[in-house]
Amino acid sequence: MAISAAQVKELRERTGAGMMECKKALTEVDGDLEAAVEAMRKSGMAKADKKADRVAAEGRVEIVSEGNRAVIVEVNCETDFVGNDDNFRAFATRCAQTALNTEATDVDGLMNEEVEGEKLEEHRTQLVAKVGENVQVRRFERLNAEGSLGAYQHGARIGVLVALDKADDELAKHIAMHIAAQQPVCVDEDEVPTEMLDKERAMFKAQAEESGKPENIIEKMIEGRIRKYLGEITLVGQAFVMNPDQTVGDLLKEKGAKVTGFVRYEVGEGIEKKSENFAEEVMAQARGA
């Protein structure tokens, strides 16, 4: 059966696949458009399954906001080339918009949400088939603000949301930029995880004991180092990047505002990336030839 250009065009519009792939699919089902769409979806799912174990540590952070609420999403792929692809960027935006406008509480729930008649997971598998890489929605988080909500993106790799209890959009934006640059762990020392503080205290104690100083002096040394450490990892304790002569805490006090929460995402943080040695790879291929 001859396959017309119009049939190929319609299948491309519905699946986003390449022209030759669409023509092949239509030929195999004697021009049945619906059967071709179903076959290509199954093929896309199979390709996605094969690529699921491949490390995806590139990608982008996407932020979508509406009034005093916003969501931040990290979507991963294997290479920065695909991370800059228009199809990948559109998918990341779709994920963020869906996360903002639904009640999904985790990634599994988000991927089961329907968008334009299909589950978001189906959109993902179609994208995998199109770009030829593993694509994963890694995480998302919503943030609401009583006052101002600041959002800042440094390229596609770093994104920050910060909520203030006071309406001050400029301050919120500046605090978001600070968080992007300085990577605080939490707002203040009350939020520092106990296990994290205990680990640092134990390390400082071991270092101080090597000095041979009396126990009371060692305790003072440890407390001094802990205070310095808290100043480095808490938002309010850090020197403000736009004015290092004052801390963020001093700035907030001056403005009569309080940070009620923040989120900072950086693409690929915490993902163990595969170390590649291309010389060894070529030699291995040559030996196997």
CATH code: domain of residue 59: 3.30.479.20
Domain extent, residue 22, equals 5-51
Structural tokens at position 30: 């004697």
Calculate ∠ Cα 92-94-99, nearest 5°: 95
Q: How confident is the model at residue 40 (pLDDT cuts 50, 70, 90)?
A: low
At residue 141, φ and ψ (nearest 5 deg) are -150, 140
Name the pLDDT band for 124 (thresholds 50, 70, 90): very high
Q: Which of 222, 184, 232 is nearest to 201 (CA)?
A: 222
Q: Report which residue type is found at 100.
A: L
Query: What is the C-alpha to C-alpha distance for residues 226 and 265, in angstroms, rounded to an integer?
Result: 26
Q: Which residue has the higher pLDDT, 55 or 11?
A: 11
36 & 11 share domain: yes
Instruction: Tell me how far apart the alpha carbons of residues 2 and 15 are, in angstroms, rounded to a whole number.
Output: 21
Q: Report the mean per-residue pLDDT for the chain.
A: 86
Q: Are residues 93 and 27 in the same domain?
A: no
- Which of 144, 175, 193 corresponds to the end of one domain? 144
| Confidence check: pLDDT of 166 > 60 | yes
Domain with residue 31: its CATH number is 1.10.8.10
Residues 6+ apart with CB under 8 A from 129: 17, 40, 43, 44, 47, 48
Residue 226: predicted pLDDT: 87
Of 55-64, 135-144, 152-161, 168-177, the least confident? 55-64
Residue 284 and residue 248: Cα distance in Å, rounded? Answer: 54
Q: Count Cβ atoms below 10 Å from residue 235 Cβ, excluding itself.
A: 24
Q: Higher confidence at residue 221 or residue 178?
A: 178
Number of domains in the chain: 2
Whether residues 33 and 98 fall in one domain: no
C-beta separation of 87 from 127 below 8 A: yes
> Hey, what amino acid is at 276?
E
For the CA atoms of 190, 196, 197, 198, what is the dihedral angle to 10 degrees?
Answer: 130
Radius of gyration for the alpha carbons in the chain, expressed in angstroms and rounded: 25
Tokens in use for 44? 């896309």
Distance of CA 158 to the CA centre of its chain: 8
Asked if 133 and 147 touch (Cβ cutoff 8 Å), the reply is no
Note whether 88 and 134 are same-domain residues.
yes
Least confident interval from 14-18, 147-151, 162-166, 223-227 = 14-18
Report the run of H or E that residue 82 belongs to, with start and end.
Answer: helix 80-83
Domain finish residue from 109, 144, 179:
144
Q: Which of 85, 109, 144 is the last residue of a domain?
A: 144
Which residues lie below 8 Å from residue 79, measured CB to CB, with a gap of 6+? Answer: 58, 133
Residues 44 and 64 in one domain: no
pLDDT digit string, tens, across residues 265-285: 999 998 876 555 545 544 554
Q: Is 150 a domain residue?
A: no
